[in-house]
Structure 1
């Protein structure tokens, strides 16, 4: 079940951000097609923090100080998912366990809170558990909203 954008016809900024971070991101990942998302980033401003599922910010690390390293890691993970046999279509499965309802927009900047909460059944193996949240940092540009960074693998307790 592909989710529909809850911000359509309500808020153009949030609708654009939701489409980028949910619909397009999931589709690109499940097809391992980086070209679908690469223009969604401001490469020269990008960085990412890995919270490592830990609530203590003192244990977080600067996972990606270079955009190219993030791209390579994303592609490696996406390609691995292509080689995995799932019990249901992966795009549908990721949509089912993804939520993005909180997007704060202020003065051309935004923080989007995306949660993953569920499992994806893998044929002949233990299910993959996705239970974390990511805070995306975005900036409005002349060509639309762009990702400048994120803090990922934050603990998520619903």
Structure 2
């Protein structure tokens, strides 16, 4: 395994599992354009995704993903738009290098995970995709496993980074 893919929570099984879900598995699935790799990580009946619209003002945030299906369509569209422009190994290194998930609060059977993206990924044509936002995920322990119940995403990186 490459150093950029090392999970920093080796001694904490809950945080380790959440990091694997939100960082390693999410990135690999996105690069492979394979929603089936991450779909089991969600609690579909509880899911809601909020688009922060790159704004620090909560009045501008919107429920853009009221169901897991609406989110999966958007996620797959983004992956399919990204894939042909990217060299897979360069993209993998760039996305892992730009992604941080160091803050995971766990209280009882609930968790709040703060995932930050700050960096750039070089594309095949020499341009760069800039990753500069953050997302806050909600999770619940369901039948012994952590499941994503929602997120507030696409927030400006500068909000408490």
- TM-score norm. by structure 1 comes to 0.94
The aligned counterpart of 1:35 is 36
SS at match of 2:5: coil
The aligned counterpart of 1:24 is 25
| Structure 1 position 107 matched with structure 2 position 108 | yes
Contact 2:91-2:123 at 8 Å conserved across structures: no
Contact 1:120-1:127 at 8 Å conserved across structures: yes
> How far did 1:121 drift?
1.5
- TM-score norm. by structure 2 comes to 0.92
SS at match of 2:118: strand
Contact 1:24-1:36 at 8 Å conserved across structures: yes
The aligned counterpart of 2:97 is 96
SS at match of 2:56: coil
Q: In structure 2, what is the Cα distance between the partners aligned to 1:87 and 1:106? A: 37
The aligned counterpart of 1:121 is 122
Q: How many residues align?
A: 157
SS at match of 1:68: helix
Give the structure with the higher percent helix. 2
SS at match of 1:83: helix
Gaps of 5+ in 2: none
The aligned counterpart of 2:76 is 75
The aligned counterpart of 1:5 is 7
SS at match of 1:29: helix
Q: Deviations over 1:84-113 (max 9, x none)?
A: 134952112100000000000001000000
Q: Deviations over 1:92-147 (max 9, x none)?
A: 21000000000000010000000000111123353111100000000001141000
Q: In structure 1, what is the Cα distance between the partners aligned to 2:100 and 2:59? A: 27
Runs of 4+ residues over 4 Å off in structure 1: none
RMSD between aligned residues: 1.4
Q: In structure 2, what is the Cα distance between the partners aligned to 1:52 and 1:133? A: 11
